[in-house]
Amino acid sequence: MAMFWIQFILVLGAVLIGIRRGGVALGLIGGLGVALLTLGFRSAPSEPPIAVMLIILAVVTASATLQVAGGLDYLVQLTERLLRSQPKYVTILAPLSTFFLTVCCGTGHAVYALLPVISDVALKTGIRPERPMAISSVASQMGITASPVAAAVTFFLGFAAKAGYPVTLIDIIMVTMPAGVIGVLAAAAWSFNRGKDLDKDAEFQARLEDPDFRDSLNASVTTLDQKISTTAKFSVLLFFAGVGTIIFLASFPELLPLAANKKPVAMTTVVQFVMLAFGAFIMFAGNVKAKDIAHSSVFTAGMIAVVSIFGIAWMSDTFISANKAFLVDNIGIMVKIAPWTFAIATFCISAFVKSQAATLAITLPLGLALGLPVPLLLGLMPASYAYFFFAFYPSDLAAINMDRTGTTRIGKYLLNHSFMIPGLIGVSTSTVVAYVISRMIF
């Protein structure tokens, strides 16, 4: 038992130091943890998550190519047209838009260009910007577990394949998509009347006495005057064609050639070559320069995710494999009796590990070691998003900075910020719904 707790403290310390350092540090220190567990505690290292890393690499490269080609700008512009056509419903339409924008692109980074537009639409309609801004930031991250090309989903797909359970991409989306939409709608419904209207907000009215503040509110914020090229629009069509191809092949695996084991080629492999292929199509169609892809924000964020998952997943799996018997004997019974406790553990880890894919890399092997079935783990997947809890995530900070009225903010007591209640409502609702759907389907 003493050896288990020493190793546990080592792993936990590595995670905390990695989080504190940020960026690729989580992966580097995870690799250091593997070295210490192997050489210091004589634990056999598990297999690194190569398939998952390759999937993320392929999807991120295609998404980055789409960004450089101007495709993300086009999607943001289409979303702005929708919001400005129905401004009274911005508190509902904005979070749904950011949710599906993430679903389509596989990354929540596209939301940054949309946040100032959401704030502007709300302000010009007389709606307190905090209402759509906070839930829109939360919804953009909730969309990750419902995206067929997001790192978290592809990680779960690879994990299920390694575990020997036939969960397909369609199975995952059938659970997480409706759960995510219902969670977003529940949080948006609560946000519809949150806070005081601007004309009744004494703090806001006092700030209006400052002429510089009044002038800042009159600034024009729009993407509609941005000219979108035909190739940018075509790049979006190509990217969606790639996603559609993956979904089509996942629905009809009999169309795939047989691998050496006489079974259709694994979907984890299909995702890799399809997304790389369509990334190449976008590159040729948009005459995109390769160096621009490597320097894009989407590519940079994706590479950080790859390195983080490489180290942290490898370390976690090595630790769990070495202590599987202890975990099953001491924790397994409790988790089987009350599986919702595993969702809480996942949520708590995600509050510090600001990546859903990295959170799942830590928790899924543990859940499997504790005897939880893969369908149950799928139902608890939405709980992997909790980094709104401390409101330090870039999309939350961007929402605060882009709300010119100052209504979206971090409170005096740190945790009483604009994102807390929408996040708790959205994640808890989507987790419950996903759990119910997974129990009904499997």
Residue with tokens 């969309």: 143
- 216 — pLDDT class (breaks 50, 70, 90): confident
**One-character DSSP codes across 165-234:** ----HHHHHHHHHHHHHHHHHHHHHHHTT-S--GGG-HHHHHHTTSHHHHHHHT----STTSPPPHHHHH
360's CB contacts (< 8 A; 6+ apart) are 152, 155, 156, 159, 346, 381, 384
The pLDDT, as a whole number, for residue 332 is: 67
User: What's the pLDDT tens digit per position in 94-133?
Assistant: 999 999 999 988 777 778 878 889 998 998 888 999 999 9
pLDDT given for residue 231 in this prediction:
93
Most confident of 247-251, 372-376, 434-438: 434-438
Separation of alpha carbons 109 and 434, rounded Å:
24
Task: With H, G, I as helix, E, B as strand and everything else as coil, classify residue 296.
Answer: coil
Cα–Cα distance measured from residue 173 to residue 184, given in angstroms and rounded to the nearest whole number: 16
DSSP state letter for 46:
-
pLDDT at 398 over 80: yes
pLDDT of residue 431: 97
| Position 432 pLDDT exceeds 90 | yes
| Through-space distance between the first and last CA atoms of the chain, rounded to whole angstroms | 36
Query: Tens digits of per-residue pLDDT, 283-327?
Result: 999 999 999 999 988 888 788 878 887 888 788 888 878 887 777
3-state SS class at 129: coil
pLDDT at 281: 96
| Residue 384: band (very low, low, confident or very high) from pLDDT cuts 50, 70, 90 | very high
What is the C-alpha separation between 184 and 92, in angstroms, rounded?
Answer: 9
Cα radius of gyration rounded to whole Å, the chain: 22
Mean pLDDT of 371-375: 89
Question: Residue 250 pLDDT > 90, yes or no?
Answer: no
**pLDDT at residue 279 above 90?**
yes
Residue ranges covered by each domain of the chain: 1-441
Asked whether 157 and 55 are in contact (CB, 8 A), the reply is yes
